[in-house]
Amino acid sequence: MNFVCSTLKAARIPRLTRTTAHCPLPTAYKHSFIIISLITLFVSSSFAAGKQKVVVLAFDGMDPRIVQSMFEKGKLQNFKKVADMGGFKYLWSSIPPQSPVAWSNFITGNNPGGHAIFDFIHRDPATYMPYLSMSETIPPTTTIKPGSYVFPLSSGQVILKREGKAFWEYLGEEDIPLVIFKIPSNYPPVEAGNGSVSGMGTPDLLGTYGTYQYFTTDREDIPEDYSGARLTLVDVINGGVNEVLEGPPNSFLKAAPIMKIPFTAWIDPENPVIRIDLPDQKIILNQGEWSEWIVLSFKPLPFIPAMTGICRFFAKEVHPYFKLYVTPLNINPKDPILPIDSPDGFAAEVADNAGYFYTQGMPEDTKALTNNTFTTEEFYVQSQMVLDERDRLFDYLFGQFKEGFFFFYYSSTDLGTHIFWHLRDKNHPAYDPVAREKLGDVIEQIYERMDLTVAKVLKRLDDDTTLIIMSDHGFSPLYNNFHLNSWLERNGYLVLNYGKDTGSLLAGDVDWSRTRAYALGFNALYINQRGREGQGIVSPGAERDRLAKELVEKLMAVRDPETGTPVIKRVHRREDVYKGPYVEKAPDLLVGYDWGYRTSWESALGDITDGDLITESTEKWSGDHCGATEIVPGILFSNKKILMDRPHLYDLTPSILARFGIAKPDDMIGRDVFSAVQENITETITDRQLEEFKSLDYI
C-alpha cells in the first residue's frame, strides 16, 4: 500500500481505478457554509425543469422497525410524507447481510454470484490466509535498488475487487449527469460523470481502515490487547511532551522506516490548556477541545514530493494526566495520494467549497471506544462531528445538483446503531443506565437528523424527480458470540495439530490432512476441498455435497444451553442462493445467525478457543447485522408508488435505470420496483418468513 502511495506521488502519474474491470468550525468555513445554505434555499433551489432526476439518500443500516416505532410516536414526519406520497417497504438485504456484500448487490443489480464479494473477509484457498475483500494494492513490479534506496520503474496499482458493472456506468454511457458520494464497496471509485468520492473500503494514509494515535501518561489507558491504534506511554519533561506522529513507511528506502513528524505538547502548569508545536504550525487546545483539520507533510527524500495527510487532535485530558488523541491520518482530499475520487480533483473541489473531511471509509472511531481510549460520551461527540460534517457536505453537493442522478451516503445510522444499541436495550449485557440518562436514545436522535435531510430534499422535489430512500440492512442486538471454529473442532470437522487444545488458522495450528471444514469471516464456512484448497481432503461432488448437507443439519440443530433457543436460523448452500459466474469462488456455506447471536470476533479470524461455545457479548459494539438476512431487513421509501411487494436491494438497480429509460442489462437479476408488469420469478421469501421478521420483539 505505502510503496504504491510513494510511487504514485513521486511519479505524478494518473491514479488508477480498477485495472480489471462537538467542535467549532473555522470562521471562514462557517461563513461559507451559511452562504452555501442560503444559496441552496433561495437561489439555486430549483431543479432543471422537465428533465428526469433521481435522488437516492442512503442511510446505512436504518432499520424499518425502529422507523415504524418512531412513526407511532409521531416522529420522522418527513419520512412519513414520503411514505404517503409513494410507499414504504421492508427491503430484502443480501446473503449475508454485510455492508460490502449488500452495497455490491445494489451497485451491480446482482447477488454475490455476480459480483464476487461474499464477506468483509475472504481467504486464499491455496494458503488458507484471509484478506480484506473490497480492494487490493499491488506494488510496482520493477524497481532499481542503488545502495540503500529503492526507486520504482513501473507504477503500482490499486484494484477494486468487486466484479460486474456499476449501474452508473450505464447512466454515464447515456451522458446523464451524476454524482456518487461515499457509496461503499467502490474504492477505488468507478468513473462517475460529474464526480465521485469513495466510501467504505477507503484506507487511511497508513493503508489501514483507520489507525489512530494516542499519547498518555496514564499506564491504565493502554490495554494488554488492542487493535486499530498506536498507543504510546509518555513522560512530561520540563513542562512538555516530546513525541512523534507516525506516518507511512518510507518505501524509497530498503529498510522502509516509518516516516515521522516530531511535535512538542507544552502543558500549562496551572490551566487545562496545551500548545502543540508542529514543525510548521502551533495549535492551542483547552481540555476536552478538538482541533480543526491539520495538514501534515511527510517527505520521503529531499527530491521526492511530500505526501500529505490530514488529522485532528483531541485534548482528552491535561491535568492530572496528559492524554492526547489523534485521528487516523486521512488521505488529504485536496492532495490525494491514493485514488479516492473520479475524476481527479473532484474531492479537492468538494473540500475547497465545504471544508476538509474524513476520507477514510469508516470515520466514526469505534476502535477508540472499544480500546477504552474514548468514553461513551467522547465517542458520541466524535460521531456527532462526523454527522455534522456529512451534513455540510450534503448541503454543498445537493445545492449544486440540477439534473440527472444524485447519490449521497450517511454512515451514522450504521455505526451509531452498532455502538448505541446498548443504550436502548435494557436486556443487553452492556446496558449503561448512566450513559442512557445523559445521552438519551442516540439511535432515535440520529434517525431524526436523517429526517431533516429528507426535509431538505422534499423542498426541492418536482414531478420529474424520483426520490429513493434506502438502507442496505437493518439491525439486531448482539447478545452472544458463537465460536464457530471451536464448534467445528469439537465436532470433528476441524483438527488441530498434535498437542494443541487451542490455536489459529493464521498461526499454522491446524492439521489440514484431517480437517474437513473451517470458517473465516463473519458468515462464511468452507469445506477443505481437494483440488481447490492447498491441502484439501474432501473430494468435490458427492462427498462434498454430503458433508455440506450434514453441516447444515447439525448447525441448524445448535441450541443455546441456557435458553434452549436456536443459535442459527438459516444455513445456505451457495448454489441454492447465488447465481452468476463467481459462484465457485463463494464460501460453501453461509451461516445466518438468529436474533441476538453472531460469529465471535475470534472465530471470524480463524481462532479455535477453549471454554464455552457461546459467550456473552459485553462490548459496546452491541448492535449487529451479520445474522440471517430475514431478521435484518432494510428500508425502502419513495415518492413514487412502489408496486413490488417484497423488493430486494438488487431490484433498485434496474429501477433507477428504468427511470432514465434504460433497459435492464441481461446480467442483472433485479426487477423494476415501480413497474406494474413483473417477470415470473422463483426467488422470494415466504409469507411466514415475512411475518417472522415483522413480528420480532423490538426494544
* pLDDT (tens digit per residue) in 463-486: 999 999 999 999 999 999 999 999
In sequence order, the 6+-apart residues with CB closer than 8 A to the CB of 576 are none
Give yes or no: residues 434 and 460 share one domain: yes
H or E stretch covering 91: strand 87-91
Q: For residue 481, what pLDDT is reported?
A: 98
Q: Is the pLDDT of residue 320 over 90?
A: yes
* pLDDT (tens digit per residue) in 499-531: 999 999 999 999 999 999 999 999 999 999 999
**pTM of the prediction?**
0.89
Closest CA to 597 of 635, 623, 634: 623
In sequence order, the 6+-apart residues with CB closer than 8 A to the CB of 474 are 61, 62, 63, 64, 65, 66, 93, 625, 632, 633, 634, 635
Q: Is 417 left (phi over 0), alpha (psi -120 to 50) or beta?
A: alpha
Closest CA to 178 of 355, 491, 397, 25: 397
Mean pLDDT of 152-168: 89
- Cβ atoms of 471 and 60 within 8 Å: the answer is yes
Mean pLDDT of 484-502: 97
Question: Do β-strands 87-91 and 634-638 pair in parallel, antiparallel, or remain unpaired?
Answer: antiparallel
Q: For residue 686, what pLDDT is reported?
A: 53
Q: In the numeric block, which cell numbers belong to residue 442?
A: 442516540
Boundary residue ending a domain (427, 453, 475): 475
Task: Tell me, letter by letter, the H, E, C secondary structure of 569-611.
Answer: EEEEEHHHHCCCCCHHHCCCEEEEECCEEEECHHHHCCEECCC
- Cβ atoms of 421 and 428 within 8 Å: the answer is yes
Q: For residue 399, what pLDDT is reported?
A: 97
Give the least confident one: 1-15, 332-346, 592-606, 625-639.
1-15
Mean pLDDT of the chain: 90
Cα angle 648, 97, 673 (rounded to 5 degrees) comes to 10
Cβ neighbourhood burial of 663 (10 Å; 0-12, 13-18, 19+):
exposed
Residue 593 lies in a domain: yes
Cβ neighbourhood burial of 562 (10 Å; 0-12, 13-18, 19+):
exposed
Residue 443 lies in a domain: yes
* pLDDT (tens digit per residue) in 261-276: 999 999 999 999 999 9
3-state helix, strand, coil in the chain (%, to 5): 30, 25, 45
Give yes or no: residues 458 and 494 share one domain: no
**How many other CB atoms sit within 10 Å of the CB of residue 669?**
22
Mean pLDDT of 583-608: 97
Residue 32 lies in a domain: no
Q: Is the pLDDT of residue 688 over 60?
A: no
Give yes or no: residues 289 and 219 share one domain: yes
Q: For residue 174, what pLDDT is reported?
A: 95
Mean pLDDT of 351-373: 97
- In whole angstroms, what separates CA 218 from the centre of its chain? 32
Domain count, the chain: 3
pLDDT more than 70, % of the chain: 90
Task: Tell me, letter by letter, the H, E, C secondary structure of 153-207.
Answer: CCCCEEEECCCCCCHHHHHHHCCCCEEEECCCCCCCCCCCCCEEECCCCCCCCCC
Give yes or no: residues 413 and 557 share one domain: no
Give yes or no: residues 370 and 247 share one domain: no
Closest CA to 396 of 32, 31, 49, 24: 32
Cis previous bond, 363, omega within 30 = no
- Cβ atoms of 24 and 388 within 8 Å: the answer is no
Residue 423 gets which letter from DSSP? G
- Cβ atoms of 229 and 373 within 8 Å: the answer is yes
Q: In the numeric block, which cell numbers belong to residue 96?
A: 449475508
Phi, psi of 132 (to 5 degrees): -75, 140
Pick the more confident residue, 193 or 108.
108
- Cβ atoms of 417 and 475 within 8 Å: the answer is yes
Give yes or no: residues 580 and 524 share one domain: yes
- What amino acid is encoded at 563 in this protein? T
Half-sphere exposure of 252 (CA within 13 A, CB side): 19
Cα–Cα distance for residue pair 678/579, rounded to 1 Å: 20
Q: What is the CATH number of the domain that holds 65?
A: 3.40.720.10
Boundary residue ending a domain (434, 457, 475): 475
Q: For residue 1, what pLDDT is reported?
A: 41
Cβ neighbourhood burial of 546 (10 Å; 0-12, 13-18, 19+):
exposed
Pick the more confident residue, 375 or 142.
375
Q: For residue 48, what pLDDT is reported?
A: 60
Give yes or no: residues 579 and 508 share one domain: yes
* pLDDT (tens digit per residue) in 4-40: 343 333 333 233 333 333 333 333 333 343 333 433 4
Q: Is the pLDDT of residue 453 over 60?
A: yes
Length of the chain as a residue count: 699
Pick the more confident residue, 44 or 473.
473
Boundary residue ending a domain (577, 607, 630): 630
Give yes or no: residues 311 and 250 share one domain: yes
Half-sphere exposure of 182 (CA within 13 A, CB side): 24
* pLDDT (tens digit per residue) in 207-253: 999 999 999 999 999 999 899 999 999 999 999 999 999 999 998 88
Residue 490 lies in a domain: yes
3-state secondary structure of 337: coil
3-state secondary structure of 486: helix
Q: Is 440 left (phi over 0), alpha (psi -120 to 50) or beta?
A: left
Give yes or no: residues 172 and 281 share one domain: no
Residue 21 lies in a domain: no
- Cβ atoms of 140 and 155 within 8 Å: the answer is yes
Q: For residue 42, what pLDDT is reported?
A: 38
Cα–Cα distance for residue pair 468/57, rounded to 1 Å: 6
Cα–Cα distance for residue pair 554/247, rounded to 1 Å: 48
Cα–Cα distance for residue pair 200/210, rounded to 1 Å: 11
Q: What residue numbers bound the domain in which 238 lies?
A: 212-326
Q: In the numeric block, which cell numbers belong to residue 332?
A: 488529504
- The DSSP bridge partners found for residue 87 are 638
**How many other CB atoms sit within 10 Å of the CB of residue 389?**
19
Residue 551 lies in a domain: yes
- Cβ atoms of 623 and 418 within 8 Å: the answer is yes
Task: Tell me, letter by letter, the H, E, C secondary structure of 340-406.
Answer: CEECCCHHHHHHHHHCCCCCCCCCCCHHHHHCCCCCHHHHHHHHHHHHHHHHHHHHHHHHHCCCEEE
Mean pLDDT of 661-667: 95
Q: Is the pLDDT of residue 682 over 70?
A: no
Residue 140 lies in a domain: no
140-143 own/partner pairs: CB under 8 Å, 24+ apart: 140/3, 140/4, 140/7
Q: Is the pLDDT of residue 182 over 50?
A: yes
- State the virtual CA torsion across 387, 393, 395, 399 in degrees, nearest 10: -160
H or E stretch covering 106: helix 99-108
Give yes or no: residues 60 and 102 share one domain: yes
Residue 594 lies in a domain: yes
Mean pLDDT of 73-83: 98
Q: For residue 142, what pLDDT is reported?
A: 79
Q: Is the dihedral of CA 651, 652, 653, 657 positive or negative?
A: positive
Give yes or no: residues 72 and 185 share one domain: yes
Give yes or no: residues 243 and 312 share one domain: yes
